Amino acid sequence: MASASENSENSEKTRIDFHSNVADKLNYTCRLIRKARAANCKVIVFHPDKQVLQSIDAALWTLEETGFLPHVMADDALAAVTPVILSMGKLDQSPHFELLVNLSTRTPENFYLFARMIEIVSSDQEETQLGRERYRQYHQQAFPLSHNVAK
């Protein structure tokens, strides 16, 4: 995967996939991470609230009885060698730039350094509206977009 500087100099724009109408963001995110790891993808999960990331951390420990998804917080000493990072910010300092999962209701700084970003939007009316606004902004900036409605 490209480094931050290589990706920012690259003419390819970040691919952005919206997953909307998600009833249980915690469970959905964990399943998404498991699927990404099965494809050998390195993942950064972003949310500015540490409690949300701690909930993801706890859920990843109990996702499967027989499986384990290696993950740490971004400030952990093992972050550079861990495929799943939980981050509250400073995405330009991430150890890898393959897949960014945005759980927040705002556009993460430096998201464009990543090859791909997945926006997870709940079924909450306010969050849905904020997701639509982000979608329009990305569209206006000519990012490649897709939209998936959770069932």
For 116-129, what is each residue's pLDDT tens digit? Answer: 999 999 999 999 99
Query: What integer is the mean pLDDT of 98-104?
Result: 97
- Average of per-residue pLDDT across 82-101: 94
Which of 3-7, 77-81, 98-102, 133-137 is predicted least confidently? 3-7
The gap from C-alpha 60 to its chain's centroid, in whole angstroms, comes to 15
- Is the per-residue pLDDT at 52 higher than 60? yes
Number of domains in the chain: 1
Output the six-digit token pair for 45: 């999960």
pLDDT for residue 10 is more than 60: no
Domain extent for 68: 4-8+15-149
The total of other beta-carbon atoms located within 10 Å of residue 101's CB is 26
Q: Torsion angle of alpha carbons 33, 148, 142, 16, nearest 10°?
A: 0
Q: Above 90 in pLDDT, residue 17?
A: yes
Tell me, what's the pLDDT at 130? 97
pLDDT value, residue 12? 84
Residue 65 exposed, middle or buried by CB count within 10 Å (0-12, 13-18, 19+): exposed
120 contacts 103 by C-beta, under 8 angstroms: yes
* Residue, of 16 and 1, whose pLDDT is higher: 16
Kindly state the percentage of the chain with pLDDT values over 70: 90
Q: Which two tokens stand for residue 150?
A: 């959770």
Q: Measured between alpha carbons, how far is 70 from 24 in angstroms, rounded to an integer?
A: 22
Which DSSP state fits 138? H
Kindly report the CATH number assigned to the domain that includes residue 145: 3.40.50.10110
Helices (H), the chain: 4-9, 25-38, 50-62, 125-140
Strand order across the 99-102 sheet? 71-73, 84-87, 43-46, 99-102, 116-122, 15-22, 145-149
pTM above 0.85, yes or no: yes
Task: Determine the average pLDDT of the residues in 34-45.
Answer: 94
State what percent of residues in the chain have pLDDT above 90.
81
